[in-house]
Amino acid sequence: MTSGFGLGLRTEHYNDFLAEPQPVEWLEVISDNYMVDGGKPLAMLDQIRANYPMVMHGVSMSIGSINGLDKEYLRKLKILEQRVEPMWVSDHLCWSGVHGRNMHDLLPLPYTQEALQVVKHNVEQAQEVLQRPLVLENVSSYVEYESSEMTEWEFLAEICQVTGCRLLLDINNIYVSAFNHDFSPTSFIEGVPVESVTQFHLAGHLNNGDHLIDTHDHPVCDDVWDLYRQALLHFGYVPTMIERDDNIPSLPELIAELDMARAIADDVLNTKIAL
Amino acid sequence: MNLRELQIDFQRALFDTECNGADWISESARGLSARNRLDIYYNAYRLRLIDVLLDTFEHTAIYLGDDWFNQLAADYVQSHHSTYTNIGLYGREFPQFLVEQLPQDKEVSELALMDWKLRRAFDGADSAVMTLEDLQHLASDETGIRLQAVPTLTLCTQHFNTLDIWHAINQEQTPPVVEGLLQPIDILIWRKGHSPHFRSLAKIESAAIACLCSGETLDAIGATLEKDFPDVDVATEFGVMLHRWLDDEIISVGFRNAE
């Protein structure tokens, strides 16, 4: 388990990380951006990796697809994993397409026993290739299915138990889905197994009044910071990062936001110890 | 409805020409209707792919203007489902789509093909580049040398002043009026260092590079050029070309002896 706070590595900040050491303990790279044949992406990755521990975060594994996993995708992911030697490898609890089509989205699953078996099979396949536990992230969602038989957190807890996979809890995604589907974010946090949580994501979203969209183009809002406090109280210290994918600010601005996460964690965890 | 049926129907709903809702989505007591919830995914699917096309075909988009490009991109998204895990590859058929959609404006597809090939050169395979010393060393030891082009090297043929249009757009200037060329020209595209490069080729260099890519030995390339360009001092011209290829870093250190 690593310590400290991280950021998602974005092309806009390559030069900052190459120019001088930055106050960031680790970096998360989007696996898919580096599953390429060569050129600047891999050159930058290698240079920055030399100075920072990394975790790999994918968006295209489609772990919930009824068609199973794409073997070529897994092969390329394994090659990248051997190159980066990340602390862990994550992707999303979702599906992205069937029958050879890809919608390039993180589509939610129905929380059913049948889906559980599909995800179990696919997680086991990924873990066999990667030879390490897969880390799964909860997604933001905008639909719920008539067929669901359990809550999202019950599904996550079950999949961790039957596969040994771990969890990347996106605090913003919990908040967005809780708002969109009118459930208690506290129930979510209290419903997942403490020992399985490997990483937290923090991010911003777009508030459209009657629904929230997970855009990653805003700073973390106060409500999500409050939920982060709750998560820290429940899970204790968990490696945390700010995830920003659009409207990307300067690195100092993002580091200032990360410092807020550090300050909140210090405050919450020190208070917890004092109690 | 089982998971297989749900995923197939969800995918079909996103591919439809309009968002029609679905009865497998729960209606919630508050917030959006089930139809509007599905609409979020329906619109996001299109916006995401159009954004990828805008990013990949940057010069083409500027040349066409926002409205025209977005309409063509939306039509492409509706008629072309992605079969790639790497979303960056989604535009592979877009230049050909433009050939079919704009038969009277063929410079547009030429511009798009150039955008596409430059983008692919950006993250194409790496290779160690041959230096003059490497070549001299090889030439002293081997006969019948076949050089190997770097893996990012590719050619595209243009029948219009597309290259001038590309340069004008790149310099944020008004593009020239489109004109057909008297003779088509070949454009060489490759990556040097971290940056995609391109330049137009004279006929003789184009022929030499075609021979290089088909695996001919240096001797055979020289012989072909002697035959096809009888009025040229091929020995001198080919020597100049080889030096430029080394400077441009289009020859990889991988080489093959003649069999």
pLDDT digits (tens, 9 = 90+) for A74-130: 999 999 999 999 999 999 999 999 999 999 999 999 999 999 999 999 999 999 999
Least confident interval from B59-73, B133-147, B156-170, B188-202: B133-147
**Chain B residue numbers touching A143 (CB-CB < 8 A):** 25-26, 34, 37-38, 41
**Cβ <8 Å between A213 and B40:** yes
H or E element at residue B211: helix B203-213
Tokens standing for A245? Answer: 């994918």
Q: Which residues of A touch B14 (CB under 8 A)?
A: 103
Nearest C-alpha neighbor of A34 from the set A54, A6, A5: A54
Q: Do A99 and B11 touch (CB under 8 A)?
A: yes
**Nearest-CA distance from A260 to chain B in Å?**
31
**Whole-Å CA distances, A65 to A94, A151, B4, B94, B206:** 8, 19, 9, 28, 47
pLDDT digits (tens, 9 = 90+) for A20-39: 999 999 999 999 999 999 99
Mean pLDDT, residues B106-129 taken together? 97
Residue A231 structural domain: 5-274
Distance in angstroms (rounded) separating the CA atoms of residues B126 and A219: 37
Segment A47-64 shows an average pLDDT of 98
Give the full edge-to-edge strand order of the sheet including B180-192: B154-160, B180-192, B195-201
Which two tokens mark A54?
A: 């990394």
Q: How far is B224 from chain A (nearest CA, A)?
A: 33
Interface test with A, best of B7, B27, B36 (most A CBs within 10 A): B7
User: How far apart are alpha carbons A21 and A97 in whole angstroms?
Assistant: 40
Q: Taking a C-beta distance cutoff of 8 angstroms, is the pair B69, B60 a contact? A: yes
Q: What is the ipTM of this complex?
A: 0.95
Summarize pLDDT for A136-173 with one digit per residue, the tens: 999 999 999 999 999 999 999 999 999 999 999 999 99
With a CB cutoff of 8 Å and minimum separation 6, the contacts of A1 are A198, A239
Q: What is the dihedral of CA A234, A238, A244, A245, to 10 degrees?
A: -100
**Bridge-based pairing state of the strands B195-201 and A54-57:** unpaired
**Count of structural domains, chain A:** 1
**Are A110 and B44 a contacting pair at CB < 8 A?**
no
**Nearest residue in chain A measured CA to CA from B126:** A38
CB under 8 Å to A138, separation ≥6 — which residues? A92, A93, A152, A156, A167, A168, A169, A170, A173, A174, A177, A188
CA–CA distance, A35 with A89 (Å, rounded to integer): 14
Closest approach of A121 to chain B, Cα-based (Å): 14
Residue B140, pLDDT score: 77
Give yes or no for a contact between A191 and A184, defined as CB atoms under 8 angstroms apart.
no
CB A102 within 8 A of CB A60: yes
Indicate the residue of B41, B81, B125 with minimum beta-carbon distance to A105.
Answer: B41
Rounded to the nearest integer, the mean pLDDT of chain A is 96
**Where would I find the beta strands (DSSP E) of chain A?**
5-8, 26-30, 54-57, 89-92, 134-137, 166-170, 197-202, 206-207, 212-213, 240-242
CATH number at residue A267: 3.20.20.150
Q: What is the β-pairing status of strands A89-92 and A54-57?
A: parallel
Kindly provide the residue ranges of all beta strands, DSSP E only, lying in chain B, ordered along the sequence. Answer: 145-149, 154-160, 180-192, 195-201, 251-257
Residue B146 pLDDT > 90, yes or no?
Answer: no
Q: Tell me the C-alpha distance between B23 and B4, whole Å.
A: 16
Contact B85 A213 (CB under 8 A): no
Please state, rounded to an integer, the average pLDDT across all residues of chain B: 93
CB distance A102–B82 less than 8 Å? Answer: yes
**DSSP code of residue B168:** H
Q: What is the pLDDT of residue A1?
A: 45
Beta strand B180-192 pairing with B154-160 = antiparallel
What is the per-residue pLDDT for B143? 67
Q: Would you place residue B259 in the very low, low, confident or very high pLDDT band (cuts 50, 70, 90)?
A: very low
With CB atoms and an 8 Å threshold, state whether A211 touches B31.
yes
- Does B124 sit within 8 Å of A37, measured CB to CB? yes
Task: Break chain B down into helix, strand, coil percent, rounded to 5.
Answer: 55, 15, 30
Measure the N-to-C terminal CA separation of chain B; round to a whole number of Å: 62
Query: What CA–CA distance (Å, rounded) separates B43 from B45?
Result: 5
Find the CB nearest B194 among A37, A43, A98. A43
Tell me the nearest-neighbour CA distance from A198 into chain B, angstroms.
26
Residues in chain B within 8 Å Cβ distance of A104: 45, 48-49, 82, 87, 90
Backbone torsion region of residue A70, taken as left when φ is above 0, otherwise alpha when ψ lies between -120 and 50, otherwise beta: beta
Distances, alpha carbon A222 to alpha carbons A204, B32, B64, in Å: 10, 24, 43
Residue in B closest to A100 by C-alpha? B83
Cβ neighbours of residue B63 under 8 Å, at least 6 residues apart?
A: B108, B111, B165, B169, B175
Q: Which of A4, A2, A3, A12 is nearest to A252 (CA)?
A: A12
Structure tokens at B107: 């410079």
Q: Are strands A240-242 and A197-202 parallel, antiparallel or unpaired?
A: parallel
